[in-house]
Amino acid sequence: MPDDAATEAYRRGQAEGEIRARLDGNDRRFDAMNGQLGKIDGRLQDMVRVLQGVQNQTTASVEQQRAVAQALRDQATKAWAPWAKVLAVVGAAGVVASVVIAYVATRG
C-alpha cells in the first residue's frame, strides 16, 4: 500500500504539471494574438494614411470650389464695358429685325 505522503506528492505534481501545461498553452495563444494585433495595427495605420489623403484632397477641392465661386461672383458683379453694351444692343436689334422680316415674308 502506497504511503499517503507519496500519494499526496504525486497528486500535487500531477496538478502542477497540468497547470504548467495550461500556462504554456496560454502563452502560445497570447503570442499568436500579439502577432495578429501587430498586423491589425499595421492595417489600421495604412487606413489612417488613406483617410488623411482623402481629407487633404477634400480640403483642396473645397478650397478650389470656393475660389471658383468667388471668381464667378466677381465676374457677375463686374460692370459691362461700353463696347459690350453696344454689341448686345446691336445683336438684340438684329434678332428682332430677323423675326419681323420672317413674319412679313410668311404673311405676304
The answer to whether residues 61 and 87 belong to one domain is no
| 86 and 105 share one domain | yes
Q: Is the pLDDT of residue 1 over 60?
A: no
Mean pLDDT of 90-101: 93
72 with 48, same domain: the answer is: yes
pLDDT single digits (tens) 35-77: 898 899 999 999 999 999 888 888 888 888 889 999 888 887 7
Q: What total of structural domains would you count in the chain?
A: 2
| Judgement on whether residues 54 and 84 belong to the same structural domain of the protein | no
Q: Are residues 45 and 93 in the same domain?
A: no
Distance of alpha carbon 97 from alpha carbon 89, whole angstroms = 12
d(CA 95, CA 86): 14
Domain range for 96 is: 80-108
SS3 for 4?
helix
CA angle, 99 as apex, 82 and 85 as ends, to 5°?
Answer: 5
In this structure, what C-alpha cell is assigned to residue 76?
Answer: 457677375
pTM of the model: 0.43
Same domain, 50 and 89: no
What distance, in Å, lies between the first and last C-alpha atoms of the chain? 140
Q: How far apart are CA 70 and CA 60, in angstroms?
A: 15
Instruction: Please tell me whether residues 97 and 63 are part of one structural domain.
Output: no
SS3 47: helix
Distance CA 56, CA 80 (A): 39
Which residue has better confidence, 72 or 95?
95
Does residue 2 have a pLDDT over 80? no
- Each residue of 11-32: pLDDT tens digit? 988 988 899 989 888 999 998 8
- Whether 55 and 20 share a structural domain: yes
With cell 504548467, the residue in question is 20
